[in-house]
Structure 1
C-alpha cells in the first residue's frame, strides 16, 4: 500500500522487489522515482512468470502528489498507467488512487488507500486498503495491512530494516483471504539518493 508522502526536493529513489507466490508464480519489479516540483514522478518495469504460463513483462509510470493538510495528517493522489511488452494493445489501463496518512503517534502511522483500476478493454474494478506501521525498534519498522486488489482480498504483515543511512530491506507475507489471487512472500530493497 502507498502512503500520502513524497520524496523531498532533490531526492530520488531506486527500488526493487521479488515476489514468489504459492504455485511457483514469480514477479521481479524494478523502479526509480524523483521529486520534480510538487510531484514525485516514477517509472518501473516488471517481469512475471505466472503459474503454468510463459513469462510476461510490463512497464508503468506514476505521478504522485501529497500534501500535509493538518498537523500529522496528509492526503494525496497517485496516477499509474501500465503498458504490456508483448500484448496488443500495449496499453493495459491505469490506476487512480486517493491516499491518506495519519501519524497518530511519533512511532505509529495509519494509511488509507481508495481507488479504481481502469482496465483497457476489460472491467474496471475498485481497490482499497488500510495499514498500520509501527517504528519502535532502532532501525526496524513493522507493518500490518488489509487490502483488495486484482479482485482478491489480502492480509499482509511485514518488517523493514533500515540497513544503512539511505537504504532499507523489507520482507513481507501476503495471505489471500478471498478471490482468485494467491498468497505470496516479497523481499525488497530501497535506496535513497540525493541529487546534486
Structure 2
C-alpha cells in the first residue's frame, strides 16, 4: 500500500496519476515521467519513472525518495497491451508491479486496464482498472480505479481520478499543459484512510 499512497504504482494518464490507461510507450521508444510531491504533513518526495517499449510490452521502474516511514522505494513494472485503443475503440492491457522499500518487498499488484472515448472526437477519455493488491506477501485485496481526462484544447487537459484499495480511497485531479513530446502537470490529491492526508504534485513528462 505504501507504493500506492506515494504515487509510485499505477501511471494512468501518465505522470503522478494512479489509474493506469491501456497505452504503452511503443517499440524502440522511451519516456520519463517525474514529479515533486509536497504532503500536508510537511514532508516531500521526488519521483522518476523511466520506461521503454518493445512491441506491445512496456517495461518501467519507479524510483522515489518516499514519504515519512515509506521509502526510498523501487517499483519495477511490466504492461502488455492486448488491444490498441489509442486512436479508436477500446484499449486493453494487463500489468503487474511490485514494490521494494529499503530492500524489502512490500507489496505487488496485478490488474487489467481499459481505455475508451466517450465522444467521437475522443476529447473525453475514460480509464478503468480492476485487479488485486497483495500487501506484504500476506493478504490480497481488490483494487479498482477510474480516471477521466477532458481535452479542453489541443494543449490543455483536465484530469480527475479515484482509486479504491484496501481501507483507502485516493482522489486526484489536475491540469496538464502539453508542448511537443513533453508536458507539465499540476495535481492535487487526498486520501481517505486510517491516516488521511493530502498533497500537491508538480511534474514534467517527456517522450524520446
TM-score band by shorter chain is: 0.7 to 0.9
Segments of structure 1 that go 5 or more residues without pairing to the other structure are none
Alpha-carbon distance in structure 1 between the residues aligned to 2:191 and 2:149: 20
Alpha-carbon distance in structure 1 between the residues aligned to 2:144 and 2:194: 14
Q: CA deviation at 1:38?
A: 2.1
Alpha-carbon distance in structure 1 between the residues aligned to 2:181 and 2:160: 23
TM-score by length of 2: 0.81
Partner of 2:91: 74
Answer yes or no: is 1:9 the counterpart of 2:24: no
How many residues get paired? 186
Q: CA deviation at 1:25?
A: 3.3
C-alpha distance after superposition, 1:140-182 (max 9, x if no partner):
11111122246321332111111x3111111111133454331
The structure where strand makes up a greater share of residues is 1
Answer yes or no: is 1:137 the counterpart of 2:153: yes
Change (3 A) 1:48 1:178: closer
Partner of 2:185: 170
Answer yes or no: is 1:60 the counterpart of 2:75: yes
TM-score by length of 1: 0.85
Structure with bigger gyration radius: 1
Alpha-carbon distance in structure 2 between the residues aligned to 1:147 and 1:118: 16
Give the superposed CA RMSD.
2.0
